[in-house]
């Protein structure tokens, strides 16, 4: 029987920076019933003609293979790289986390931020906005701790990822 276990993969997609290309990628996922756990997009080439889309998705190995083949089939897509499969890679996410708290909770939030190497981006007498960078798990953990201390608002960038080593896409 086929391996039916659900795997999570981080995929980097290089695309022509043209109108509608993101809609094509997102439409492909919704139309074929694939999962998107995280998606980020931005131009990456000097002349702004190429964008990089980083997608975290999950599915059985057969589905993951389909996702990559379907992405590669889109006309404006120039390359599809399954970072999870191709070897070691670095993954980061940035989050802005607002914590509304007073008194000892406020002080505790600052102490935890220090442990997580989060920086303070803004402050009022009864709130902080922290910037925290790291893996999804780290940001999840930080957010969880902050929720215990007061009102929390979260804005996350989604995952960006790049392969280790000297090879340049």
Where does this chain bind another protein (CB under 8 A)?
A: 2, 15-16, 19-20, 23-24, 27, 31, 62, 65-66, 69-70, 72-78
Question: Whose Cβ is closer to another protein: residue 80's or residue 97's?
Answer: 80
165 CB-contact burial (10 Å; exposed 0-12 / middle 13-18 / buried 19+): exposed
d(CA 89, CA 84): 7
Shortest distance, position 76 Cβ to another protein, whole Å = 6
Shortest distance, position 44 Cβ to another protein, whole Å = 15
d(CA 126, CA 142): 19
Tokens of 149: 């201390």
Shortest distance, position 6 Cβ to another protein, whole Å = 17
DSSP H helix total and E strand total for the chain: 5, 9
Shortest distance, position 82 Cβ to another protein, whole Å = 14
Question: Whose Cβ is closer to another protein: residue 31's or residue 104's?
Answer: 31
Question: Whose Cβ is closer to another protein: residue 68's or residue 98's?
Answer: 68
Geometric angle at alpha carbon 136, from 36 and 10, rounded to 5°: 45
């Amino acid at each position: 029987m086929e391996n039916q276990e659900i795997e999570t993969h981080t995929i980097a997609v290089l695309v022509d920076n043209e109108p509608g290309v993101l809609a094509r990628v997102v439409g492909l996922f919704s139309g074929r019933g694939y999962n998107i756990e995280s998606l980020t997009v931005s131009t990456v080439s000097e002349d702004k003609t190429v964008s990089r889309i980083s997608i975290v998705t999950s599915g059985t190995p057969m589905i993951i293979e389909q996702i990559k083949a379907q992405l590669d089939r889109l006309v404006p897509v120039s390359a599809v790289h399954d970072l999870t499969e191709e070897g070691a890679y670095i993954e980061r996410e940035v989050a802005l986390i607002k914590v509304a708290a007073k008194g000892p909770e406020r002080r505790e939030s600052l102490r935890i931020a220090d442990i997580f190497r989060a920086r303070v981006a803004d402050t009022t007498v009864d709130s902080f906005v922290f910037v925290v960078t790291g893996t999804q798990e780290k940001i999840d953990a930080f957010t969880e701790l902050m929720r215990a201390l007061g009102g929390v608002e979260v804005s996350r960038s989604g995952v960006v990822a790049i392969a280790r080593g000297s090879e340049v896409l």
